Structure 1
Amino acid sequence: MDFDNLLLSGCNLLNNYLITHPEVLEELQSCQTRSRLVQAATVLVIQGEKLARNDDINGAVEKFGKAQQWDNKLKFDSQTRARELAQGKTDLTPSPFPAKGKGSKKVSKIQSLSPLRREVWREVKGVASKRELL
């Protein structure tokens, strides 16, 4: 097995970890594929939203900006979204993941995600909850 194949195998084995830990994916440029970056962008948005709700506007804007670099389908103003989340005005700016159907906004946003993005969202949410307990 040559080095390139070994590297590819390692990246594939770490796929889910890299998606849910975008800061690690950012450092490992050789593991950055278009698919991984787009999926990790979802995690960056979730992280940014949490930062904004905790009044870290600059941190949120940075996460949103990186997410938009990685997934060009994410169309929203980072500054505005961060400020509105910090002020609790989440109804003013639509989520970058548009809701479909009826029901609560939070549930419909999650349901509108692809199965993999829902899995990533749940995993990130679980990690964040565990950290809050520590």
Structure 2
Amino acid sequence: MEAKQQEYGMISAKMTVEFDGKSLTMQQASLILKDTDREKRKTIYNLIQKRRLEDEEKLDNLYDELIILRQKIAKNAGYDNYRDYMFSAMGRFDYKPEDCFDFHNAISKKIVPIITSFEEKRKKRAKLY
């Protein structure tokens, strides 16, 4: 499994895009998505998406293989799924997966509407409507 994870990471880490005469890593390119120039943001977004699509099939296949391997590991260790296995492996004793679901739902109900409101105001100020 480790080899597959490393392969996935290596493919992702090697991704670059050419922008303004420079070769940028995906992390560097993602910073341009915060630029105030809308055309720059649009250009870099399209470059990032195009680059990701080049390795999409390879990454999708690796991801599928990792899911299968993780499920086997969990089953062999006596767990129903990899999530439950990892909770145990990481020594999680102070909260359970259900607590995480409850927390996630609380964020969805309370925080997401606030963030959405901020985003709507930002879009109006930027005249993106």
Q: TM-score range by the shorter chain?
A: under 0.3
Normalised to the residue count of structure 1, the TM-score between the two structures is 0.26
The structure richer in strand per residue is 2
Kindly indicate whether structure 1 or structure 2 has the higher relative contact order, using CA contacts under 8 Å at least 6 residues apart.
Answer: 1
Normalised to the residue count of structure 2, the TM-score between the two structures is 0.26
